[in-house]
A and B are shown apart, each in its own frame.
Chain A
Amino acid sequence: MNTTLNSLPETKPVRSRFRNTIGKYTIKRNSSCIACGKCAELCPHGVHIKPDHYSAPFRPVEHNCIGFACKDTDHYCIEHCPEEAMTLKENPLLETMGDYRWTPDMLLGHFAMAETGDLPHVDLEYSLGNSGGGFDKMRFKKPDPGLALDLADERMDTSIDLNKTGDGRPLKTISIPCYGGGMSYGSTALSVIVGRARAAKRLNSLTCTGEGGYPPEFLPYKDHVITQVATGLFGVREETIQNCPVMEFKYAQGAKPGLGGHLLGEKVTEAVAKMRETVVGRPLFSPFPFHSVYSVEDHKKHVDWMKEINHKVLCSVKVSTPTDVDMVAVGAYYAGAHIIHIDGSYGGTGAAPDIAKKNIAMPIEYAIPKVHRFLVEEGARDKITLIASGGIRNAMDVAKAIALGADGCVIGTADLVAVECVRCGNCESGRGCARGIATTDPELGYMIDEAYVEQRLVNMYMAWRKQWCRLLRSFGLTSIKELRGRSDLLVHLDYLDEEERKQYQNSPGYKMVL
């Protein structure tokens, strides 16, 4: 048993920031209600609440309602209401929520995990999207029941190692096979990025500065904060490299491969401008690529430079997924990187041209096995950590990525969904995110507090961990490291005969209007 497992953080309920939560079902009380409190008495899910001394029950907490599945129970409020004052139906609002990749169920499922630290009790499909390909078409094989282990989650190992080179630098291990992707100071509210750092500390994982500099608020968590060195070099200083356990060169980003970062002028407030050493209100375009890197040799100089500044730092190289991503990965290995981080084309961003998100570079599902195989052939696979990101949305995507050959994943969007991002896509416009997440607006930027972010993230990752543990146990594995490259445990529905396909869960068939 891994000793770091003892430090797994405690989950505790963190309610939504919003008065009216969104549920899969809507349950309404009409004016016939006599406030008898029967519904509150019956409901075990906390949908109906009528505190003592209150004359009427609160409005139903709809996101806790399990809907029509309740019909067969003895606490189905609709039937037990003496005045027949209640109606239940599927929430029509969901049609206006989500998209092919993040379906409404997946969004609501993650809200629930972040709220409770547990898997949702409502029938939500939170592990599969509706994209019709990639992870959404992959399933884990039906495990042989004889393999199943009877081990508690606490005894399962979900940790991964980040330094496999044996170069004498620290052997960094994180307790979950994920760490946080770069979100810069400027693109995202300070409380969100600091909250992520606090969660990373409690989860014994990492988060990343993005390319917006290193705010002093990160210092208490510096052992869990990656300093990103991106092409704009905003806020990169010797001390920020000296602070960090891992530094990350961002060569490219999956959401906008081949393009640099872009921070809109509205987001460049006085504090952001000071951190980035730029002018207030002026948009910031990061160049592409690094002006100092035109070859693997140039890249090696970069890596050496960082290693010289901080003798303990591990180097990660974040690249996008072009045709030759396998060659790029091997190049990074030979240049002395500890981590090769491949960011697939369907990843998140604060702002990117839509044309780039959809059309440039390959989805991560293709890139992982390609890179994994090539590293194996080159004899380098066990000497470098392969991290995947860009379109990894949930715990099962992480597990599938690992089975395809990654060691672990970097998560960005799911972190934001945990703090109630609805993926409206307006992070870049005007004052930024209306929900207070991706904004530096003097009003909106303070809608969230760090403690809320920290606990919601801890909750979500601990719920994810439950899914990983359940999966590993079913295949007789005790460590997620044993899952790496086990693509033999995966099936793809399009590669199965019709009969075989029937054994596996269908993809959700939402009718999306884009």
Chain B
Amino acid sequence: MPQKYTIHTKPAPPKFYPVGKYATIEFRENCAGSCKECVKKKCVYDIFKNNYLHMSKMEEPEYLYTCNSCFRCIQECTKGIFSRVINPEYRDIGDEYYTPDVINRTWYQAHTGSIPVSGAGYRGPFAGKGFDSMWTDMSEIVRPTRDGIHGREYINTCIELSRRPERLAFHDDGSLAVAVSPILEIPLPILFEKPSFGVLSQKVLVSMLKAAQAIGTKMFMDADEINETLAPFGTTIIPKVKKENVHRFNGLLKGSDMVEIDYEPGIESVLEALKAGHENLVISVGLPLSAALNYADIGVALSRTAMDTLHVYADYNGREFNSQNPRFIKDMLRDIHTALVKAGTRRQINILASGGVSMAEHVNKTIICGADGVVIDRPLLLAMECRLCDRCRKGLSCPVKLEGIDPEYGSNRIINLMGAWRNQMLEMLGAMGLREARRLRGEVGRSMWFEDLEKESFGPIFGERKISLDVG
């Protein structure tokens, strides 16, 4: 029996204190001094232990980052000298999409390789925009058992990147009558991409590639940037080329099993030529989701060429390019997927989606909207303790010294993050009663949408909405 795919994680504690949410304030001048009831000694989480050591090193006290919000020190101190505030640095990290919470959870997963688990119920907004306007379904009774999804009840997360023939035909003797290209598949519907900003030293890139290699996925990067240090990663790298420079990389492509070429009008002939020159090379076309392009129609046209995979790009936050009122990737993907289904070519090609995937839940939701897999970049940096502080863009030093990261450590953190993401994917797939990530593709029937639920459940009671829903 073939070995079941699993991502082996091992803890990789942070090298720098993660930016914690709460800062404990102590009005020490009011301390009783000799109090036998000192709450610091009684802290359940021991966060005050050794809390004086930072002073000699002129560091920040550790308990800035480790408070678990139980409020006991605040409520039990005999002199009431404790209070708390939200750490101002916490408010500043990230942006509207990569919120401090998303960044903190990513760090946690990269550290532990574990799924974030907590007590008490959900604590966020009722619903929101983008991916927060959809829920996934679950099966109550009639479904395969979920227990043991990490072992006995195997859920397959592999996807294909190569093209599938429209149909199979056979000769009278049973042999295949159609040419079938080799199948290229990866065990996880998540691929990497070199980020377009950040500290991108060789060590950082090697960390990403090592992680990709270890878990069996691939990483997109410009063919121009593949140097001698990175070349040994071979087929883990998907070189990105353009129509005008593709001829320069013939040698590189011979050692690759997949290539990506930027979309531009008239690309079809280049794809044919590329396929003719590299019979077994899987070809992806990178298509920006720009309001200036009719991406659904372009996708359909490309699906009738030699392209194997359509790789669509939204911006970091999953938004459409070149638009005053940009759409979100989930809606754009649904359009592309539906157009391909109508054209009858969806099953022959694959769709990869970049942009807006910042958490594990976004992987499944992107796939439900019609992608086969997702491509991520920022979460890779976050896994390596990046704070998205943008100091590197301004030419300032990196607060976590990313440029000198040990690739063993960096890749360990990324592998941990991917392990945690995959396990979360399995939890959701298990709850939906699906045993294969491929079955989830375009499966909107296993999802629930904010606008639909409002209409179905509240429409008969409250009538027509007067405040339009912004779910894009």
- The reply on B121 being an interface residue by CB < 8 A is yes
- Give every chain A residue within 8 A of B453 (Cβ-Cβ): 362, 366
- Give every chain A residue within 8 A of B328 (Cβ-Cβ): none
Q: A328 vs B22: C-alpha distance in the bound complex, in angstroms? A: 43
- The reply on A347 being an interface residue by CB < 8 A is yes
Tell me whether A289 and B145 are in contact (CB under 8 A): yes
Tell me whether B123 and A495 are in contact (CB under 8 A): no
Closest partner residue, chain A, to B124 (CB atom): A100
Among candidates A18, A358, A425, residue contacting B76 with C-beta atoms closer than 8 Å: A18
Contact A425/B119 with A358-B361, A434-B44 known, Cβ cut-off 8 Å = yes
Tell me whether A288 and B147 are in contact (CB under 8 A): yes
Q: A299 vs B69: C-alpha distance in the bound complex, in angstroms? A: 42
Tell me whether B458 and A434 are in contact (CB under 8 A): no
Q: A441 vs B78: C-alpha distance in the bound complex, in angstroms? A: 24
Stretch at the interface among A33-41, A45-53, A168-176, A255-263: A255-263
Tell me whether A430 and B146 are in contact (CB under 8 A): no
- Give every chain B residue within 8 A of A474 (Cβ-Cβ): none
- Mark B34-59 against chain A: 1 for CB-CB distance below 8 A, else 0: 00000000001100000000000000
- The reply on B141 being an interface residue by CB < 8 A is yes
- The reply on B168 being an interface residue by CB < 8 A is no
Among candidates A99, A252, A362, A428, residue contacting B124 with C-beta atoms closer than 8 Å: A99
Q: A330 vs B152: C-alpha distance in the bound complex, in angstroms? A: 33
Contact A413/B457 with A22-B75, A136-B126, A289-B140 known, Cβ cut-off 8 Å = no
- The reply on B83 being an interface residue by CB < 8 A is yes
- Give every chain A residue within 8 A of B458 (Cβ-Cβ): 366, 369, 492, 495
New A-B pairs, 20, CB < 8 Å, besides A102-B123, A289-B139, A390-B121:
A21-B75, A96-B69, A99-B123, A131-B124, A133-B127, A258-B427, A260-B146, A288-B430, A325-B140, A328-B141, A350-B119, A357-B122, A370-B456, A423-B120, A424-B70, A428-B118, A431-B44, A492-B462, A498-B466, A514-B100
Tell me whether A351 and B119 are in contact (CB under 8 A): yes
Q: A514 vs B105: C-alpha distance in the bound complex, in angstroms? A: 11
Q: A328 vs B45: C-alpha distance in the bound complex, in angstroms? A: 43
- Give every chain B residue within 8 A of A426 (Cβ-Cβ): 68-70, 118-119
- The reply on A145 being an interface residue by CB < 8 A is no
Stretch at the interface among A6-14, A315-323, A448-456: A315-323
Range of interface residues on chain B? 35 or more
- The reply on A475 being an interface residue by CB < 8 A is no
Tell me whether A491 and B462 are in contact (CB under 8 A): yes
- Mark A463-486 against chain B: 1 for CB-CB distance below 8 A, else 0: 000000000000000000000000
- The reply on B1 being an interface residue by CB < 8 A is no
Q: A487 vs B360: C-alpha distance in the bound complex, in angstroms? A: 37
- Give every chain A residue within 8 A of B180 (Cβ-Cβ): none
CB contacts under 8 Å to A, within B437-472, are 448, 453-454, 456-458, 460-467
Tell me whether A425 and B140 are in contact (CB under 8 A): no
- Give every chain A residue within 8 A of B4 (Cβ-Cβ): none
Contact A320/B147 with A354-B118, A357-B121 known, Cβ cut-off 8 Å = no
Tell me whether B115 and A289 are in contact (CB under 8 A): no
Contact A289/B146 with A132-B126, A435-B72, A513-B91 known, Cβ cut-off 8 Å = yes
Tell me whether B122 and A358 are in contact (CB under 8 A): yes
Tell me whether A134 and B140 are in contact (CB under 8 A): no
- Mark A430-465 against chain B: 1 for CB-CB distance below 8 A, else 0: 110111001000001000000000000000000000
Q: A433 vs B457: C-alpha distance in the bound complex, in angstroms? A: 37
Residues of B within 8 A of A (CB): 21-22, 44-45, 68-72, 74-78, 80, 83-86, 90-91, 99-101, 105, 115-127, 135-143, 145-147, 359-361, 365, 424, 427-428, 430-433, 448, 453-454, 456-458, 460-467
Tell me whether A359 and B135 are in contact (CB under 8 A): yes
Among candidates B80, B140, B432, B462, residue contacting A252 with C-beta atoms closer than 8 Å: B140
Q: A428 vs B114: C-alpha distance in the bound complex, in angstroms? A: 14
Tell me whether B461 and A369 are in contact (CB under 8 A): yes
Tell me whether A19 and B120 are in contact (CB under 8 A): no
The 3 closest A-B pairs by CB, nearest first: A258-B431, A427-B119, A133-B126
Closest partner residue, chain B, to A366 (CB atom): B457
Q: A158 vs B458: C-alpha distance in the bound complex, in angstroms? A: 26
Tell me whether A347 and B72 are in contact (CB under 8 A): no
Closest partner residue, chain B, to A293 (CB atom): B141
- Give every chain B residue within 8 A of A487 (Cβ-Cβ): 461
Q: A448 vs B178: C-alpha distance in the bound complex, in angstroms? A: 74
B125, B360, B464 pick with most chain A CB within 10 angstroms: B125
Tell me whether A497 and B123 are in contact (CB under 8 A): no
- Give every chain A residue within 8 A of B123 (Cβ-Cβ): 99-102, 423, 425, 514
Closest partner residue, chain A, to B450 (CB atom): A133
Q: A2 vs B466: C-alpha distance in the bound complex, in angstroms? A: 42
- The reply on A167 being an interface residue by CB < 8 A is no
CB contacts under 8 Å to B, within A185-231, are none
Q: A294 vs B119: C-alpha distance in the bound complex, in angstroms? A: 29
Contact A438/B105 with A358-B361, A426-B68, A496-B466 known, Cβ cut-off 8 Å = no
Q: A252 vs B143: C-alpha distance in the bound complex, in angstroms? A: 13
Question: Count of A residues near B, CB < 8 Å?
Answer: 108
Closest partner residue, chain A, to B360 (CB atom): A355
- Give every chain B residue within 8 A of A356 (Cβ-Cβ): 427-428, 431
Closest partner residue, chain A, to B116 (CB atom): A354
- Give every chain B residue within 8 A of A350 (Cβ-Cβ): 119
CB distance from B465 to the nearest CB of A (A): 6
A-B contact pairs, 5 of them (CB 8 A): A99-B123, A354-B117, A424-B71, A426-B118, A430-B44
- Give every chain A residue within 8 A of B462 (Cβ-Cβ): 490-492, 495
Contact A288/B145 with A422-B71, A492-B462 known, Cβ cut-off 8 Å = yes
- Give every chain B residue within 8 A of A490 (Cβ-Cβ): 461-462
Tell me whether A20 and B119 are in contact (CB under 8 A): no
B68, B85, B432, B467 pick with most chain A CB within 10 angstroms: B467
Tell me whether B466 and A430 are in contact (CB under 8 A): no
Tell me whether A434 and B137 are in contact (CB under 8 A): no
- The reply on A494 being an interface residue by CB < 8 A is yes
- The reply on A285 being an interface residue by CB < 8 A is yes
Contact A96/B72 with A320-B138, A359-B136, A438-B119 known, Cβ cut-off 8 Å = no
Tell me whether B428 and A359 are in contact (CB under 8 A): yes
CB distance from A242 to the nearest CB of B (A): 26
- Give every chain A residue within 8 A of B461 (Cβ-Cβ): 369, 404, 487, 490, 492
CB distance from B37 to the nearest CB of A (A): 9
- Give every chain B residue within 8 A of A132 (Cβ-Cβ): 125-127
- The reply on A166 being an interface residue by CB < 8 A is no
CB contacts under 8 Å to B, within A120-175, are 131-134, 136-137
- Give every chain B residue within 8 A of A431 (Cβ-Cβ): 44
Tell me whether B83 and A358 are in contact (CB under 8 A): no
- Give every chain A residue within 8 A of B361 (Cβ-Cβ): 355, 358-359
A95, A258, A293 pick with most chain B CB within 10 angstroms: A258
Tell me whether B465 and A494 are in contact (CB under 8 A): yes
Tell me whether A348 and B125 are in contact (CB under 8 A): no
Tell me whether A355 and B125 are in contact (CB under 8 A): no
